[in-house]
């Protein structure tokens, strides 16, 4: 299981959509406060549909609290950012990895990524674009991590 970590998310619909993806992909969602919305907000639930009830995200009160509990795994921290040239599919993901995404308008703090900046990754984009939607980015990278480790995942086989 991979860990998707949203640091200070700002748009409830993105958080809900990522939660829905996490349930469907057998991922653990971590949300690091502060958020600019209430996690029980209708928009989060609407985007996550009925998946939000079974998601059971881990809510952290601060980045410091998260790091206190998880810093020993820093070698397996991956940071989605526009501040690197390393492409996400060049990373070698392993089950248990933490994949971090920052707030929609702020991204991840550079000083936080300096914990293990060699694991900063990006999604290639055209010259006119600045960044992709957060939920879209999380899906692209999460499913690449799963693709690399597909034999480790228990997905339904019936169609």
Q: Over the stretch 107-123, which tens digit does the pLDDT of each residue have?
A: 999 999 999 999 999 99
Calculate helix-pair angle for 134-148, 12-25, nearest 10 degrees: 20
Spatial separation of the C-alpha atoms in residues 147 and 159, rounded to whole Å: 19
Binding residues: 102, 123, 131
Binding residues for S-adenosyl-L-methionine: 102, 123, 131
Q: What is the pLDDT of residues 27-74, one digit of tens each?
A: 999 999 999 888 776 766 666 667 777 888 999 999 999 999 999 999
Asked if the bond preceding 136 is cis, omega within 30° of 0, the reply is no
Query: What's the CATH number for 3-152?
Result: 3.40.1280.10
The domain locations on the chain are 3-152
Is the pLDDT at 154 greater than 90, yes or no?
no
How confident is the model at residue 155, as a pLDDT? Answer: 73
- Helical ranges in 1-153 per DSSP H: 12-25, 42-48, 52-55, 63-70, 110-113, 134-148
Taking the complete model, does pTM exceed 0.85, yes or no? yes
- Going 72 to 85 to 112 to 11, the CA torsion angle's sign is negative
């Amino acid at each position: 299981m991979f860990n998707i970590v949203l640091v200070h998310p700002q748009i409830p619909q993105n958080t809900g959509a990522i939660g829905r993806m996490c349930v469907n992909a057998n991922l653990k969602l971590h949300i690091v406060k502060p958020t600019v919305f209430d996690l029980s907000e209708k928009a989060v639930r609407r985007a996550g549909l009925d998946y939000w009830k079974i998601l059971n995200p881990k809510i952290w009160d601060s980045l410091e609290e998260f790091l206190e509990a998880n810093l020993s795994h820093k070698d397996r921290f991956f940071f989605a950012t526009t501040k690197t040239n390393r492409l996400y599919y060049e990373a070698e993901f392993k089950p248990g990895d933490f994949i971090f995404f920052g707030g929609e308008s702020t991204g991840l703090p550079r000083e936080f990524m300096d914990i293990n900046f060699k694991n900063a990754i990006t999604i290639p984009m055209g010259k006119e674009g600045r960044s992709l939607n957060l939920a879209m980015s999380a899906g692209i990278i999460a499913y690449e991590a799963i693709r690399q480790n597909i034999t480790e995942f228990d997905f339904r086989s019936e169609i």
